[in-house]
Amino acid sequence: MRSLVVLILSAFSLMAMSGEQLSVKVDSVTEGFIDSKSISTMTLFNANGVKSERKMRMSRLEAENGDRSMIVFEAPSDIKSTALLTYEHFDKDDDQWIYLPALKRVKRIASKNKSGSFMGSEFSYEDLSSQKRFKYSYEDEVLEKKSMLISSRVPKDEYSGYSKQVVYVDAKSFLVQKIEYYDRKKELLKRAIFKGYKKIKDVWRFSSIDMENLQTKKRTIILVTDESLKNGLKAKDFTKRYLKQQ
């Protein structure tokens, strides 16, 4: 009887939960990694299923006013050691530089528009940046369907490639399972499925994202391996000095 009451009460509280409140819950289980290092393999499939691979070393530093990240490409071989440094800002445009090893050159990238494809994949720079809740405005209603909480959010960035994102969250763990992305014409564009969640140093991290472009039928799967958190990375590890040393 008591468990039934708890169940009814928790169901009631979920029903009353707004999109904003749900996003707070989601952030609470995935935030606090402080810094991360990982190897990512990105497999691109064209509409005919022909695949192509990219491999990269990724590191990220969590920060109040925007994360810092460094991506160093390992494959394909012609872009090996090419490195991308990003300073995310929530109140203005990100800073972004690319190191081109063949030219020994660090070049700034204009990064106002983050809707462009990342390395020819189905991921945009926007998809790979942090998904902090205050980057979106939320529709009030949260739907519950088959143990999933479903919420809609609209990117605040006017240069976003999306008009809306529909987020599917596991009702028990508050981990994101799926996101549907709607293009600027309000048509369903892409679907990302998050899999293989595991807890590393008390923070939940996914192991793979399967992104499918439903309009072009192209797919990209990112597989994250060797991830470590709280490595003691500092802001100065994310500077142009280290960009050139990769």
Give the residues lining the site for another protein (CB under 8 A): 44, 46, 50, 52-53, 75-81, 87, 92-93, 95, 102-105, 108, 110-117, 119-120, 124, 161, 216, 236, 239-241, 245
Q: Tell me which residue has tokens 């709607």.
A: 182
Amino acid at 183: D
Q: In the complex with another protein, which residue's Cβ is closer, 40 or 151?
A: 40
Q: In the complex with another protein, which residue's Cβ is closer, 62 or 94?
A: 94
How far out from the chain centre does Cα 100 lie? 25
**Residue 93 burial class via C-beta count within 10 angstroms: exposed 0-12, middle 13-18, buried 19 and up:** middle
Q: In the complex with another protein, which residue's Cβ is closer, 16 or 102?
A: 102
Q: For residues 116 and 126, what is the distance between their CA atoms, to the nearest angstrom?
A: 8
Q: In the complex with another protein, which residue's Cβ is closer, 70 or 169?
A: 70
Q: For residues 39 and 222, what is the distance between their CA atoms, to the nearest angstrom?
A: 10
Q: How far is the CB of 108 from another protein (least distance, A)?
A: 5
SS3 category, 230: coil
Q: In the complex with another protein, which residue's Cβ is closer, 21 or 43?
A: 43
Element of type H or E holding 22: helix 19-30
Q: For residues 242 and 83, what is the distance between their CA atoms, to the nearest angstrom?
A: 10
Q: In the complex with another protein, which residue's Cβ is closer, 20 or 93?
A: 93
Q: In the complex with another protein, which residue's Cβ is closer, 93 or 170?
A: 93
Which long-range CB contacts under 8 A does 186-195 form with residues at least 24 apart? 187/215, 188/214, 189/162, 189/213, 189/214, 189/215, 190/122, 190/214, 192/127
Q: For residues 100 and 68, what is the distance between their CA atoms, to the nearest angstrom?
A: 19
Query: What value, to the nearest 5°, has the Cα angle with vertex 114 and ends 108 and 119?
Result: 75
SS3 category, 242: helix
Q: How far is the CB of 89 from another protein (least distance, A)?
A: 8
Q: For residues 226 and 34, what is the distance between their CA atoms, to the nearest angstrom?
A: 17
Q: How far is the CB of 152 from another protein (least distance, A)?
A: 22
Q: How far is the CB of 148 from another protein (least distance, A)?
A: 30
Q: How far is the CB of 220 from another protein (least distance, A)?
A: 10
Q: How far is the CB of 188 from another protein (least distance, A)?
A: 15
Q: How far is the CB of 164 from another protein (least distance, A)?
A: 17
